[in-house]
Amino acid sequence: MSALKPKHQRLVLVVLALVALIGAGLLAAYALRNQASYFYLPEQMLANPPEIGQAVRLGGMVEQDSIETAADGVTLTFAVTGNDGSRVPVRFSGIAPDLFVEGSGVVAEGRLGPGGVFLADNLLAKHDENYVPRELQDMDQHQAAQMAEETTVGLE
Amino acid sequence: MIAELGLAALWLAAALAALQMAVGFMAVRNERASELAGLIRPAAIVQGVLVALSFAMLVWLFAVTDLSVKLVASNSHSMKPLVFKLSGTWGNHEGSMLLWVTVMGLAGALIALVERRLPERTMNATLAAQGVVSLGFYAFLLLSSNPFERLPTPAAEGMGLNPLLQDIGLAFHPPTLYLGYVGLSVAFSFAVGALLTRQVTPDFARAMRPWVLGAWVMLTVGITAGSYWAYYELGWGGWWFWDPVENASLMPWLAATALLHSASVLASRDALRTWTIMLGVVAFSMSMVGTFLVRSGILTSVHAFAVDPERGTFILVLLGIFIGGALLLFALRANTISEGERFALASREGALVFNNVMLSAILAIVLLGTLYPLLTEAFDVRVSVGPPYFNPVGAIFVIPMLAVMAVGPLLRWRQDRVDRIGREIALFAALVLAALVLFGLLADIALLPLLGLAFGLGLAVASLLPLRRRKLGRTPLATWGMVIAHFGIAVALIGMASESAFTKERLAAVAEGDSATVGPWTIVLQGVEPVAGPNWTAIQGRLAASYDGDEPDILTPQSRNFWAPPQQTTESALVTRWNGQLYAVIGDRAPDGRWQVRLWWKPFVPLIWYGGLLVALGGVLALLGRLLSDLRHRRLAVRIAERRADREAIA
Taking the C-alpha atoms of residue B81 and residue B84, their distance in angstroms, rounded to an integer, is 6
Q: Are B260 and B212 in contact (CB under 8 A)?
A: yes
Identify which of A13, A39, A96 has the shortest CB distance to residue B384.
A39
Closest CA to A125 of B236, B306, B293: B236
Mean pLDDT of chain A: 75
How close B364 gets to chain A, by Cα (Å)?
Answer: 7
- Smallest Cβ–Cβ distance between B385 and the set A17, A32, A96 belongs to A32
Residue type, A131: Y
pLDDT at B359: 96
Residues of A in contact with B389 (CB under 8 A): 28, 31-32, 35
Contact B39, B23 (CB under 8 A): yes
**B313-357: pLDDT as tens digits:** 788 888 899 989 999 998 888 887 777 788 888 889 889 999 999
pLDDT(A130) > 50: no
Instruction: Indicate if the pLDDT at residue A141 is higher than 80.
Output: no
Cα separations (Å) of B465 from B200, B488, B611? Answer: 33, 14, 18
Write down the pLDDT at residue A6.
Answer: 61
Mean pLDDT per block of 10 residues along chain B (651 residues) reads 92 95 86 76 95 96 90 84 85 87 93 87 92 93 89 79 68 85 93 91 91 96 91 84 88 96 91 91 92 68 51 83 91 80 85 93 94 77 78 94 94 86 92 94 90 96 91 88 97 96 92 93 94 88 93 92 76 93 90 89 96 97 91 85 86 72
Task: Give the whole-number percent of chain A exceeding pLDDT 70.
Answer: 70
Instruction: Report the alpha-carbon distance of residue B476 to residue B146 in Å, rounded.
Output: 47
Nearest CA in chain B to A17: B357
Question: ipTM for the complex?
Answer: 0.77
Cβ atoms of A89 and A107 within 8 Å: the answer is no
From the list B455, B548, B538, the residue with the least C-alpha distance to B494 is: B455
CB contact under 8 A, A20 and B360: yes
Question: CB within 8 A of B135, min separation 6: which ones?
Answer: B14, B17, B18, B21
Is A134 in contact with B384 (Cβ distance < 8 A)?
Answer: yes
CA angle B446/B447/B450 to nearest 5° reads: 90
Between A11 and B439, name the one with better pLDDT: B439
- Rg of the Cα atoms in chain A: 23
Query: Rounded to 5 degrees, what are φ and ψ at B597?
Result: -130, 135
Tell me what pLDDT residue B11 has.
Answer: 96
Determine phi and psi for B151, rounding to 5 degrees: -90, 145
Strand partners, B635: none
| CB neighbour class for B310 (10 Å; exposed up to 12, middle 13-18, buried from 19) | exposed
B565: cis peptide before it, omega within 30°? yes
Phi, psi of B207 (to 5 degrees): -70, -35
Decide which of A76 and A37 is more confident: A76
User: Which of A1, A13, A69 is facing B591, going by the closest CB pair?
Assistant: A69
Searching chain B, which residue's CA lies closest to the CA of residue A76?
Answer: B590
The one-letter code for the residue type at B365 is: I
pLDDT digits (tens, 9 = 90+) for B69-102: 988 888 888 878 888 888 888 888 888 889 999 9
The vertex-B647 CA angle with B641 and B651, nearest 5°, equals: 145
Beta strands in B556-627 (DSSP E): 558-563, 566-571, 573-577, 580-589, 595-603
Rounded distance between C-alpha atoms, residue B473 and residue A94, angstroms: 54
Taking contacts as CB-CB distances below 8 angstroms, the residues of chain B near A99 are 568
Determine the residue of chain A that is closest to B568 in CA distance: A98
The partner residues of A10 in beta bridges, in order of sequence, read none
> In DSSP terms, which residues pair with B324 in a beta bridge?
none
Of B307, B567, B588, the CB nearest to A96: B588
pLDDT at A149 over 50: no
State whether residue B598 is helix, strand or coil: strand
Show residues of chain B in contact with A24, CB under 8 Å: 361-362, 364-365, 397
The percentage of residues in chain A with a pLDDT greater than 90, rounded to a whole number, is 11
Measured in angstroms, the CA of B446 and the nearest CA of chain A are apart by 18
**What is the value of pTM for the model shown?**
0.89
Model confidence pLDDT, tens digit, residues A13-41: 788 888 988 999 999 988 887 764 577 88
Sign of the torsion angle spanned by Cα atoms B583, B584, B587, B591 = positive
> Is residue A7 predicted with pLDDT exceeding 70?
no
**What DSSP state is assigned to residue A103?**
T
pLDDT of residue A35: 65
